[in-house]
Amino acid sequence: MGVLNVTPDSFSDGGRFADHGAAVDHAHRLVDEGAAVIDVGGESTRPGAPEVPVDEELARVLPVVEKLARTLPVPVSIDTSKPEVIRAAADAGAGLVNDVYALRRPGALEAAAASGLPVCLMHMQGAPRTMQASPEYADVVSEVEEFLHARMRACEAAGIDHERIVLDPGFGFGKTDAHNLALLRGLPRLAAVGPPLLVGLSRKSMIGRLTGRPVEQRLAGSLALALAAVAGGARIVRAHDVAETVDALRLWSVVYDPAAAGQGEER
Protein backbone atom coordinates (compact mmCIF):
# COMPACT_ATOMS: atom_id res chain seq x y z
CA MET A 1 0.00 0.00 0.00
CA GLY A 2 1.58 3.24 -1.18
CA VAL A 3 1.02 6.35 0.93
CA LEU A 4 -0.35 9.45 -0.79
CA ASN A 5 -0.66 12.40 1.57
CA VAL A 6 -2.73 15.32 0.33
CA THR A 7 -2.28 17.41 3.46
CA PRO A 8 -0.28 20.59 3.92
CA ASP A 9 1.01 19.23 7.27
CA SER A 10 1.57 15.52 6.62
CA PHE A 11 3.77 13.18 8.66
CA SER A 12 6.66 12.89 6.24
CA ASP A 13 6.03 14.68 2.96
CA GLY A 14 5.71 18.17 4.36
CA GLY A 15 2.70 18.60 2.06
CA ARG A 16 4.75 18.26 -1.11
CA PHE A 17 1.78 16.66 -2.85
CA ALA A 18 -0.86 19.08 -1.59
CA ASP A 19 -1.24 20.14 -5.21
CA HIS A 20 -3.72 17.74 -6.84
CA GLY A 21 -1.82 17.26 -10.10
CA ALA A 22 1.40 16.42 -8.31
CA ALA A 23 -0.49 14.02 -6.03
CA VAL A 24 -1.99 12.19 -8.99
CA ASP A 25 1.42 11.94 -10.68
CA HIS A 26 3.00 10.63 -7.51
CA ALA A 27 0.30 7.95 -7.15
CA HIS A 28 0.99 6.75 -10.69
CA ARG A 29 4.68 6.55 -9.89
CA LEU A 30 3.97 4.48 -6.77
CA VAL A 31 1.94 2.04 -8.85
CA ASP A 32 4.74 1.82 -11.43
CA GLU A 33 7.02 0.97 -8.51
CA GLY A 34 4.76 -1.91 -7.49
CA ALA A 35 2.07 -0.58 -5.15
CA ALA A 36 -1.05 -2.76 -5.17
CA VAL A 37 -3.25 -0.09 -3.56
CA ILE A 38 -2.88 3.67 -3.03
CA ASP A 39 -3.94 5.17 0.31
CA VAL A 40 -5.18 8.76 -0.09
CA GLY A 41 -5.32 10.83 3.10
CA GLY A 42 -6.35 14.44 3.63
CA GLU A 43 -6.31 14.64 7.43
CA SER A 44 -2.93 14.40 9.12
CA THR A 45 -3.02 11.96 12.04
CA ARG A 46 0.41 12.98 13.26
CA PRO A 47 0.60 13.29 17.09
CA GLY A 48 -0.74 16.72 18.06
CA ALA A 49 -2.21 17.50 14.63
CA PRO A 50 -5.38 19.61 14.60
CA GLU A 51 -8.62 18.16 13.22
CA VAL A 52 -9.56 19.11 9.68
CA PRO A 53 -13.12 20.33 8.95
CA VAL A 54 -15.06 18.03 6.64
CA ASP A 55 -15.28 20.58 3.79
CA GLU A 56 -11.53 21.05 3.82
CA GLU A 57 -10.86 17.31 3.86
CA LEU A 58 -13.30 16.76 0.97
CA ALA A 59 -11.67 19.55 -1.05
CA ARG A 60 -8.27 17.93 -0.56
CA VAL A 61 -9.07 14.31 -1.30
CA LEU A 62 -12.11 14.10 -3.57
CA PRO A 63 -10.57 15.43 -6.80
CA VAL A 64 -7.61 13.10 -6.27
CA VAL A 65 -9.74 10.02 -5.49
CA GLU A 66 -11.96 10.75 -8.50
CA LYS A 67 -9.04 11.06 -10.89
CA LEU A 68 -7.12 8.08 -9.50
CA ALA A 69 -10.16 5.80 -9.47
CA ARG A 70 -10.53 6.47 -13.22
CA THR A 71 -6.86 6.17 -14.14
CA LEU A 72 -5.11 3.71 -11.80
CA PRO A 73 -5.06 -0.05 -12.44
CA VAL A 74 -5.20 -0.68 -8.66
CA PRO A 75 -7.76 0.19 -5.95
CA VAL A 76 -7.77 3.57 -4.23
CA SER A 77 -7.99 3.51 -0.44
CA ILE A 78 -9.50 6.47 1.41
CA ASP A 79 -7.80 7.25 4.72
CA THR A 80 -10.56 8.95 6.70
CA SER A 81 -12.72 8.72 9.82
CA LYS A 82 -15.59 10.91 8.62
CA PRO A 83 -18.85 9.43 7.29
CA GLU A 84 -19.24 12.27 4.75
CA VAL A 85 -15.80 11.54 3.30
CA ILE A 86 -16.44 7.77 3.26
CA ARG A 87 -19.66 8.32 1.28
CA ALA A 88 -18.18 10.84 -1.16
CA ALA A 89 -15.04 8.79 -1.76
CA ALA A 90 -17.08 5.63 -2.32
CA ASP A 91 -19.21 7.51 -4.87
CA ALA A 92 -16.01 8.74 -6.53
CA GLY A 93 -14.78 5.18 -6.98
CA ALA A 94 -12.68 4.39 -3.89
CA GLY A 95 -12.06 0.67 -3.28
CA LEU A 96 -11.17 0.54 0.43
CA VAL A 97 -11.90 2.51 3.62
CA ASN A 98 -8.82 2.89 5.86
CA ASP A 99 -9.92 4.32 9.21
CA VAL A 100 -7.48 4.91 12.07
CA TYR A 101 -10.56 5.13 14.37
CA ALA A 102 -11.74 1.68 13.20
CA LEU A 103 -15.17 3.16 12.27
CA ARG A 104 -15.90 4.25 15.88
CA ARG A 105 -16.80 7.85 15.10
CA PRO A 106 -20.54 8.63 14.83
CA GLY A 107 -21.99 7.49 11.50
CA ALA A 108 -18.75 6.02 10.13
CA LEU A 109 -19.69 2.35 10.57
CA GLU A 110 -23.05 2.91 8.85
CA ALA A 111 -21.44 4.85 5.99
CA ALA A 112 -18.80 2.16 5.44
CA ALA A 113 -21.37 -0.65 5.54
CA ALA A 114 -23.62 1.20 3.07
CA SER A 115 -20.67 1.67 0.70
CA GLY A 116 -20.13 -2.08 0.40
CA LEU A 117 -16.38 -1.47 0.43
CA PRO A 118 -13.72 -3.44 2.30
CA VAL A 119 -12.47 -1.76 5.47
CA CYS A 120 -9.21 -1.57 7.38
CA LEU A 121 -9.82 -1.35 11.13
CA MET A 122 -6.88 0.13 13.05
CA HIS A 123 -6.23 0.18 16.77
CA MET A 124 -5.52 3.53 18.41
CA GLN A 125 -5.44 4.42 22.11
CA GLY A 126 -6.84 7.92 22.58
CA ALA A 127 -6.99 10.46 19.75
CA PRO A 128 -4.20 11.86 17.55
CA ARG A 129 -3.96 15.16 19.43
CA THR A 130 -3.13 13.48 22.76
CA MET A 131 -2.36 9.81 22.06
CA GLN A 132 1.40 9.96 22.64
CA ALA A 133 1.10 11.78 25.99
CA SER A 134 1.11 8.67 28.20
CA PRO A 135 0.08 5.45 26.47
CA GLU A 136 -0.69 2.72 29.02
CA TYR A 137 -1.53 -0.95 28.74
CA ALA A 138 -1.49 -3.87 31.17
CA ASP A 139 -0.88 -6.24 28.21
CA VAL A 140 -0.68 -4.40 24.90
CA VAL A 141 -0.95 -7.47 22.64
CA SER A 142 -4.02 -8.84 24.42
CA GLU A 143 -5.70 -5.44 24.54
CA VAL A 144 -5.10 -4.72 20.84
CA GLU A 145 -6.25 -8.26 19.98
CA GLU A 146 -9.48 -7.81 21.97
CA PHE A 147 -10.11 -4.40 20.42
CA LEU A 148 -9.62 -5.64 16.85
CA HIS A 149 -11.78 -8.68 17.51
CA ALA A 150 -14.57 -6.47 18.93
CA ARG A 151 -14.40 -4.02 15.99
CA MET A 152 -14.44 -6.94 13.54
CA ARG A 153 -17.62 -8.24 15.21
CA ALA A 154 -19.20 -4.76 15.22
CA CYS A 155 -18.55 -4.45 11.49
CA GLU A 156 -19.99 -7.87 10.78
CA ALA A 157 -23.08 -7.01 12.84
CA ALA A 158 -23.47 -3.84 10.75
CA GLY A 159 -23.49 -5.92 7.57
CA ILE A 160 -19.85 -5.78 6.44
CA ASP A 161 -18.73 -9.18 5.06
CA HIS A 162 -16.05 -10.96 7.07
CA GLU A 163 -14.07 -11.26 3.81
CA ARG A 164 -14.01 -7.46 3.49
CA ILE A 165 -12.25 -6.82 6.80
CA VAL A 166 -8.56 -6.03 7.31
CA LEU A 167 -7.02 -5.45 10.76
CA ASP A 168 -4.11 -3.22 11.83
CA PRO A 169 -2.39 -2.90 15.26
CA GLY A 170 -1.80 0.82 14.63
CA PHE A 171 1.93 1.23 15.24
CA GLY A 172 2.66 4.58 16.86
CA PHE A 173 -0.97 5.39 17.62
CA GLY A 174 -1.00 5.68 21.41
CA LYS A 175 2.01 3.39 21.86
CA THR A 176 5.49 3.70 23.32
CA ASP A 177 8.43 2.07 21.54
CA ALA A 178 8.13 -0.85 23.99
CA HIS A 179 4.44 -1.24 23.05
CA ASN A 180 5.25 -1.12 19.32
CA LEU A 181 7.96 -3.76 19.72
CA ALA A 182 5.70 -6.01 21.79
CA LEU A 183 3.06 -5.74 19.04
CA LEU A 184 5.60 -6.56 16.33
CA ARG A 185 6.61 -9.68 18.26
CA GLY A 186 2.94 -10.48 18.92
CA LEU A 187 1.79 -10.20 15.28
CA PRO A 188 1.23 -13.97 14.96
CA ARG A 189 -1.40 -13.71 17.72
CA LEU A 190 -3.10 -10.82 15.95
CA ALA A 191 -2.99 -12.70 12.64
CA ALA A 192 -4.80 -15.57 14.38
CA VAL A 193 -7.85 -13.31 14.87
CA GLY A 194 -8.54 -14.14 11.21
CA PRO A 195 -8.56 -11.22 8.78
CA PRO A 196 -5.39 -10.19 6.91
CA LEU A 197 -3.12 -7.79 8.83
CA LEU A 198 -2.02 -4.44 7.47
CA VAL A 199 0.95 -2.70 9.10
CA GLY A 200 2.21 0.87 8.89
CA LEU A 201 5.75 1.37 10.17
CA SER A 202 7.22 3.40 7.30
CA ARG A 203 9.35 6.35 8.53
CA LYS A 204 7.63 6.35 11.92
CA SER A 205 9.09 8.14 14.92
CA MET A 206 10.04 4.90 16.68
CA ILE A 207 12.60 4.37 13.91
CA GLY A 208 13.85 7.88 14.56
CA ARG A 209 14.27 7.20 18.27
CA LEU A 210 15.96 3.82 17.77
CA THR A 211 18.36 5.03 15.04
CA GLY A 212 18.73 8.73 15.87
CA ARG A 213 17.78 9.54 12.26
CA PRO A 214 15.49 12.28 10.92
CA VAL A 215 12.47 11.30 8.84
CA GLU A 216 14.27 11.51 5.47
CA GLN A 217 16.87 8.95 6.61
CA ARG A 218 14.56 6.18 7.86
CA LEU A 219 14.39 3.98 4.76
CA ALA A 220 16.67 1.20 6.04
CA GLY A 221 14.86 1.14 9.37
CA SER A 222 11.50 1.07 7.59
CA LEU A 223 12.56 -1.88 5.45
CA ALA A 224 13.84 -3.82 8.44
CA LEU A 225 10.55 -3.37 10.28
CA ALA A 226 8.50 -4.19 7.17
CA LEU A 227 10.31 -7.52 6.89
CA ALA A 228 9.93 -8.20 10.61
CA ALA A 229 6.19 -7.54 10.26
CA VAL A 230 5.82 -9.83 7.25
CA ALA A 231 7.76 -12.53 9.09
CA GLY A 232 5.18 -12.15 11.87
CA GLY A 233 2.28 -12.64 9.47
CA ALA A 234 1.48 -9.17 8.07
CA ARG A 235 -0.09 -9.34 4.60
CA ILE A 236 -0.21 -5.67 3.56
CA VAL A 237 2.59 -3.16 4.17
CA ARG A 238 1.78 0.57 4.11
CA ALA A 239 4.86 2.39 2.84
CA HIS A 240 6.13 5.69 1.46
CA ASP A 241 9.15 4.15 -0.34
CA VAL A 242 7.35 1.69 -2.56
CA ALA A 243 10.11 0.59 -4.96
CA GLU A 244 12.50 -0.25 -2.13
CA THR A 245 9.80 -1.95 -0.06
CA VAL A 246 8.68 -4.09 -3.00
CA ASP A 247 12.30 -5.16 -3.63
CA ALA A 248 12.78 -6.08 0.02
CA LEU A 249 9.52 -8.04 0.18
CA ARG A 250 10.24 -9.77 -3.12
CA LEU A 251 13.63 -10.98 -1.88
CA TRP A 252 12.15 -12.02 1.44
CA SER A 253 9.56 -14.04 -0.49
CA VAL A 254 12.21 -15.72 -2.62
CA VAL A 255 13.83 -17.03 0.54
CA TYR A 256 10.78 -18.07 2.55
CA ASP A 257 8.08 -18.63 -0.07
CA PRO A 258 9.73 -19.48 -3.44
CA ALA A 259 6.37 -20.35 -5.05
CA ALA A 260 5.09 -16.83 -4.38
CA ALA A 261 8.18 -15.25 -5.93
CA GLY A 262 7.09 -16.39 -9.36
CA GLN A 263 9.15 -15.19 -12.32
CA GLY A 264 12.69 -13.91 -12.35
CA GLU A 265 14.54 -17.19 -12.10
CA GLU A 266 18.05 -17.18 -13.53
CA ARG A 267 20.88 -19.65 -13.73
Any long-range contacts for 132-137 (C-beta under 8 Å, 24+ apart)?
132/47, 132/48, 132/172, 132/174, 135/174, 135/175, 135/176, 135/179, 137/179
Q: How far is the CB of 123 from ligand 8Y7 (least distance, A)?
A: 9
Q: Are strands 165-168 and 76-79 parallel, antiparallel or unpaired?
A: unpaired
239 is a contact residue toward ligand 8Y7 (CB under 6 A): no
3 is a contact residue toward ligand 8Y7 (CB under 6 A): yes
> Which positions from 154 through 193 interact with ligand 8Y7, judged by CB under 6 A?
168, 170-171
Kindly state the number of chain residues that form the binding site for ligand 8Y7, as judged by CB under 6 A. 16
> Which positions from 52 through 111 interact with ligand 8Y7, judged by CB under 6 A?
79, 98, 100
Q: Which of 82, 123, 175, 238 binds ligand 8Y7 (CB under 6 A)?
A: 238
Q: How far is the CB of 59 from ligand 8Y7 (least distance, A)?
A: 19
Tell me which of 70, 204, 235, 250 is the catalytic residue: 204
Nearer to ligand 8Y7, 6 or 88 (CB): 6
24 is a contact residue toward ligand 8Y7 (CB under 6 A): no
> Which positions from 112 through 141 interact with ligand 8Y7, judged by CB under 6 A?
120, 122
Query: Annotated active-site positions, please?
Result: 204, 238
Residues at the site binding ligand 8Y7, with contacts judged by CB under 6 A: 3, 11, 41, 45, 79, 98, 100, 120, 122, 168, 170-171, 198, 200, 204, 238
